[in-house]
Homo-oligomer: A and B are copies of this chain.
Amino acid sequence: MSQLEEKTIKTEKIFSGRVISLQVDDVELPNGKTSKREIVKHPGAVAVIAIKDDNKIVMVEQFRKPLERSLVEIPAGKLEAGEEPINTARRELEEETGYVCDELEWLISFYTSPGFADELIHLYVAKGLKKKENAAQLDEDEFVNLVELTLEEAVQYVGEKKIYDAKTAFAVQYLQLKEALKK
């Protein structure tokens, strides 16, 4: 493992924004040569596979500026400073969908783009969903449409590229696997 390590020679800070920051590191490679690594720093995020008592999956449609289109995704959001991921999950579920839940369990965490970014997503499964009156509100620059899908519809959305991001594709496959193991 250690023979793969790249040692930092120099870090150049390029940009520090509201969500991400960017730096370029000069590194020493395992063979002694040098190279540059472009690195995006991200606070990390959570996402929630929220399953209603009728087995419908709660998702949100959201415009994604980097893609210039909207996607249907499982509810998700960035970690705030000092916030426990499970509390972020609870908060984002309520803000984006208006649902609160009885059960919220960690499923898996993964890096989304380890080649250029340190974003780590923590995935949770929520059950016992209930619509809340006067639910917490979205951030003022967030706009989403609530979408509730059967597993069959979600699989169809993957085929139609309405569902088109890694965490949601993983979530749909997770529910397919759970279904297959039941039989």
Contact = CB atoms under 8 A, between A and B. Distances in A.
Given A4-B143, A15-B22, A112 B112 contact: yes
Interface in A17-56: 17-20, 22, 24-25, 27, 29-31, 33, 35-42, 45
Interface residues of A, number: 73
Given A4-B143, A37-B66, A40-B117, 20 more contacts: A1-B70, A4-B145, A5-B63, A14-B14, A19-B115, A20-B40, A35-B141, A37-B65, A39-B66, A40-B40, A40-B66, A66-B118, A67-B114, A108-B158, A110-B168, A111-B164, A112-B166, A173-B177, A177-B180, A180-B180
* Chain A contact surface mostly: mixed
A20 to B, nearest CB: 5
Interface of A: 1, 3-6, 14-15, 17-20, 22, 24-25, 27, 29-31, 33, 35-42, 45, 61-67, 70-71, 73, 76, 78, 108-119, 121, 140-141, 143-145, 158, 161, 164-170, 173-174, 176-177, 180-181
